[in-house]
Chain A
Amino acid sequence: MNDTNNITLVLKNLQIGYTAGKPVFSEINLELKPGSFTGLIGNNGIGKSTLLKTICGLIPPLSGEVLIGTKKIQHCPQQELARLISLVLTDKIEGFNLTVFDVVSTGRYPYTGYFGELSDKDIQLTQHYITQCGIEHIQHKSISEISDGERQKALIARALAQQTPVMLLDEPTAFLDYASKKNSTQLLKDMAHRENKIILLSSHDLDILLRYADQALLIEENNTCTLESPENMRAKFYL
C-alpha cells in the first residue's frame, strides 16, 4: 500500500449519464486526497449511483475524465483497474453455498493467478480484514443466512481485502438498523485513515454521515456540486 500513498482521485469536467446528449450530471470537478473519508449526498435520482459507477468504470463517462494518480481509468486495463478501485454495491449476493469467507476472499482475485487459487498471503489478508470488520464469528456461515448488517460488513471486508487506493460504496448503510449504520460508518472512517485510502460513500443518513465523514460532497439540481466540511454541510441542512 505504500506506493499508493500519494495517489489522488481527480474528476475533470466529468459528464455522466447513460445516453450521449442526455447527461445525468455535467461539469463535475473534484479532487479527493488519500486518507479521506467523503460522504456523497444528494436527492434520489440526482445521479449518485451513476457517478460512482462512472468513477469505477462500470459505465463510460459521456465526456471529461477520471484520474487515479496519473492514470486515466478509461484507458486503464481492467486487470489493473481491479487493483485501483474496489466497490460495495447495492447488488444482492446470495446462495449457492457462498460463505462469508468465500465472499471476502474474492477481494484477493486481482492478485491471484489464472485459476484464482488463494496463496497463504491471500488467506491471511482475508482473515485479517474479516477480523478488522468484526465478523470472524460468522465467517463460515452462508452469506444468505446472516443479517443485512453482517452481510454489509462482509462486503466492506471484501472491498478492503482488495487493497485498492480508492474504495467506492453505494448506499452501504441503507436497510441497516441504527447501530449497524453507525458501526459500519465508523469502520470505514477508521479504515480510510489507517490505510490511507480514498473512501467515497453515498448515503441518505445525513446525521450519521456528517458525524463521521471528513468532508461531504453534495450534488444538487442545476449541476451544482459542492465539497464542504461536515460543519458547513450540517449548517446548510439545519442539523
Chain B
Amino acid sequence: MQTTAKYRLTFLSLSVLLVLLFILDLFSGSVLISPKEVISGLFSGEDSTYHKIIVNFRLTKAITAVLTGISLSLCGMLMQTLFRNPLAGPYVLGISSGASLGVALVMMSGTLLGFEMNAFGGKLSIALAACVGGFLSVLMVLGVARKIKSNVTLLLVGIMIGHIAGAIQSVLEYVANAESIKGFILWSLGSLGNVTWEEMLIYFPAIVITCLFSFTLIKPLNALLLGENYAHSLGINIKKTRLKIIIITGILAGLTTAFCGPIAFIGIAIPHICRMLFKTANHRILILANFLTGAIALITCDIICQLPGTGFVLPINVITSLIGAPVVIWLILKQKQIS
C-alpha cells in the first residue's frame, strides 16, 4: 500500500484508452455514419437526422455505458471486500434481481391498479423501487453471509434469491396487461440506449455523487481485508462501514438496473481484472482502477454488440455474459487458493 507513483502510467494509459473507446463508440453503430458526418452531426442543428442519432442516441448511450460500468464495478469490489468473497457481485448475488423485482412491481402493477404514469415520473418511481429492491437484497445476502462460511454456498444463495425474484416477476407478468409486459421484457434484456437526456439529469449526478462517496470508505475497506475482528481492533466502526456499503451498493445496483436493466457479470469480473492489473490490495488505488476499467469494459461491450455495419444490435448482456461468465468459472476453479 505504498505510493501511487508506480500506478500513474497504468492509470494514464487506461484513461487514454477510455477516451479513445468513447470516441470510437460515437463513430460506431448499427447505422453506418461516416466519421465526417459524425463530427458535423455533433455540432449541427437540432433537426438533422445525424444530429439526432449522434447526440440523442449514441452520446447518451456512451455516457450511460461509462456510468454503468463504473457503478457495477464499484458495487462488485465493495461486496467482495465486505463479504471477503471473490465470488460476490451485484448480479451473481441477486442484488440486480432484487432491483429488477422492484422495477417489475412498479412497471406492471401500475396498469394493474389502474393508474398511468408519465414517462419521466414513471422512470423516477422505477429507479426508487429498484434501489429499495437492491437494498433489501443486499441486506438479505448479508444476513445469510454472516451465518455461512463457504464462498460458493453464498453464490448458491444469491442464485436462489434471483430465482425467487424471478418467480414473483412471472406471477406479475401473468396478471399484468400485454403492454406493460412488453415494456418489462424489453427492459429486462438490458440496454444502454434507453436513457434520454432528461433522465440523464438524474442518472449522471446520482451515480457520480454515490461513487465519490465511496472514497470515504478507503481506510475501512483496507482494514476489512483482515476480517471484521481485526478491523474492529484497529478502531474501525464496522456497523457504520457495513451500512455505508449497503447504501452505496443498493443505490448503484438499483439505479443501473432501473435505467439499463440487469447487466450481467461486469460487477464480479472487473474487480478481479483490476487486482490482476494493479497487483495491490489498497482500495485507494482499486476504487479508481475499478472506475476506469469498468467504464472501459462496458463501453467495449457496447461497441462489440453494435456489430458495426451489419444493421443488427445484440443485447448488451450477451456480450457481458460471454466475457464475464468465464471469469467466474475461472475464479471457482481457483478457489483452492482463495478459500
- Residues of A at under 8 Å CB distance from B? 56, 58, 78-83, 85-87, 89, 91-99, 101-103, 105-107, 109-110, 112, 114-118, 123, 144, 162
Inter-subunit contact A115/B226 (CB<8 Å): no
CB distance from A123 to the nearest CB of B (A): 8
Residues of A within 8 A of B1 (CB): 101-102, 105, 118
A102/B282 in contact, CB under 8 A:
yes
The answer, yes or no, to whether B175 is at the interface (CB within 8 Å) is: no
CA distance A123 to B1 in the complex (A): 10
A85 touches B233 (CB 8 A): yes
**A85 contacts across to B, CB distance below 8 A:** 233
A79 nearest CB neighbor, chain B only: B235
Chain B 297-339, CB-CB to A under 8 Å as 1, else 0, gives 0000000000000000000000000000000000000000111
Chain A residues with CB under 8 Å of B227's CB are: 91-93
User: Do the beta carbons of A106 and B234 come within 8 Å of each other?
Assistant: yes
Interface residues on B, range: 20 to 34
- Taking CB atoms, residues of chain B closer than 8 Å to A110 are 234-235
Q: Which residues from chain B contact A109 at a C-beta distance below 8 Å?
A: 219, 222-223, 234-236
> Is there an interface contact between A82 and B281, defined as CB atoms closer than 8 Å?
no
Assess the A95–B86 pair: CB atoms within 8 A: yes
Complex Cα–Cα for A225 and B222 (A): 39
Q: How far is the CB of A171 from chain B (nearest CB, A)?
A: 14
List the B residue with the shortest CB-CB distance to A77.
B235
Question: B68-86 interface mask toward A, CB cutoff 8 Å, 1 = contact, 0 = none?
Answer: 0000000000001100001
B7 interface residue, CB < 8 Å from A? Answer: no
Inter-chain CA distance A91–B225, complex, in Å, is: 12
Partner of A89, one of B229, B237, B337: B229
Instruction: List 18 additional contacts besides A109-B223, A115-B218, A118-B2; criterion CB under 8 Å.
Output: A56-B233, A82-B234, A86-B233, A89-B229, A89-B230, A91-B227, A93-B225, A93-B230, A95-B86, A96-B80, A96-B81, A101-B1, A102-B225, A103-B226, A115-B219, A116-B222, A144-B337, A144-B338
Contact of B10 with A by CB under 8 A? no
**A106–B232 contact, CB under 8 A?**
no
Q: Are A87 and B225 in contact (CB under 8 A)?
A: no
* Interface residues in B80-138 (C-beta closer than 8 Å to A): 80-81, 86
Contacts of B80 in A (CB 8 A): 96
Question: A82 CA to B220 CA in the complex, in Å?
Answer: 14
Most chain A beta-carbon contacts within 10 A, residue among B1, B222, B223, B275: B1
Would A95 and B338 be within 8 Å (CB), given that A102-B1, A115-B284 are in contact? yes
The smallest C-beta distance from A52 to any residue of chain B, in angstroms, reads 11
CB distance from A133 to the nearest CB of B (A): 17
Neighbouring B residues of A107 by C-beta, 8 Å: 234
Residues of B contacting A103 in the complex (Cβ-Cβ under 8 angstroms)? 226
Also in contact, A87 and B218, with CB within 8 A (given A79-B235, A94-B338, A95-B337): no
Distance of A67 Cα from B216 Cα, bound (Å): 33
Chain A residues whose C-beta falls within 8 Å of the C-beta of B81 in the assembled complex: 96
Q: Complex formed: what's the CA distance from A144 to B336 in Å?
A: 11
Could you list 30 A-B pairs, sorted by A, with CB under 8 Å? Answer: A58-B229, A78-B235, A79-B235, A80-B235, A83-B235, A87-B230, A89-B229, A89-B230, A91-B226, A94-B339, A95-B338, A96-B86, A96-B225, A96-B275, A96-B281, A97-B275, A97-B280, A98-B225, A98-B281, A101-B1, A102-B1, A106-B226, A109-B235, A110-B234, A114-B216, A116-B219, A116-B223, A116-B284, A117-B284, A144-B337
Q: List chain A residues, Cβ under 8 A from B229.
A: 58, 87, 89, 91
Contact B337 A82 (CB under 8 A): no
Q: Which residue of B lies closest to A83 (CB)?
A: B235
